[in-house]
Structure 1
């Protein structure tokens, strides 16, 4: 009889968590930031000639990736993301994650609080950061963001 061989399980690892019905996992979170003025070279293009760029965190434990991903994005109060050249349009905002719901291929997230943006170009940046981070976390292909019970487009409207 030989000694059993232990193999390391690649992340994400899944174990059933109590209560939620979702498997507990350990994996990096994908958080989106902005490459200002690069005209869509680094990722999907946005208004004002910017790009949206995916970044990843160190591995974290979660049962539902949407909440931790959005909370991580909203908790980052740095305008510049290290030495990456990326920026966070949401760094001054006082927003908190309330809930998320995946229905078909659409993720809806509910937030409370206030946007504090640095100008008109931050409107599409903030919206894209929230939507793409939520889609990456949920596997959805579209996102809706509701802030203080209102659609994000109404909240961020200049009208």
Structure 2
């Protein structure tokens, strides 16, 4: 048993609390209560996607994925790259939520897998294509 690491966004934090992402925001690691798992990636991504609250307690952190309807379908670690497959659709609040959503998913998956890079696919398409405004 161990806690899962889930990433949320500190809006306007400019990298002070974690990696700088998006529109001058920070990505901040949070930890769940200890849970039992064999593969940490699935439980971590499912925990992130299951949180339907935009604000994370009194922390000031934000979950931009809270309104999205996404399901974790599986993941695979290949060397130092974790690939996760999701189905469903994003429901984001604006252009700044695109890098926030991508970072929340990628960092949560990388930390869970002990990987240094992440590839996220939604309905079989790369996340960058799915979230593209083009």
Displacement after TM superposition at 1:112 (Å) = 0.1
Q: What residue number does 1:61 align with?
A: 36
Q: What residue number does 2:51 align with?
A: 76
Equivalent-residue separation in structure 1 for 2:120 and 2:21 (angstroms): 17
Q: Which protein has greater RCO, CA pairs closer than 8 Å, 6+ apart?
A: 2
TM-score, normalised on structure 2?
Answer: 1.00
Q: Is 1:46 aligned to residue 21 of structure 2?
A: yes
Matched ranges for 1:69-108 at <5 A: 69-108=44-83
Q: What residue number does 1:116 align with?
A: 91
Aligned residue pairs, count: 134
TM-score, normalised on structure 1?
Answer: 0.84
Q: Which has the larger radius of gyration?
A: 1
Equivalent-residue separation in structure 1 for 2:55 and 2:106 (angstroms): 20
Displacement after TM superposition at 1:116 (Å) = 0.1
Q: 1:54 aligns to what SS in structure 2?
A: strand
Q: 1:101 aligns to what SS in structure 2?
A: strand
Equivalent-residue separation in structure 2 for 1:143 and 1:70 (angstroms): 13
Gaps of 5+ in 2: none
Cα RMSD (Å) of the superposition? Answer: 0.3
Q: What residue number does 1:27 align with?
A: 2
Kindly report structure 1 stretches of 4+ aligned residues shifted beyond 4 Å: none
Gaps of 5+ in 1: 1-25
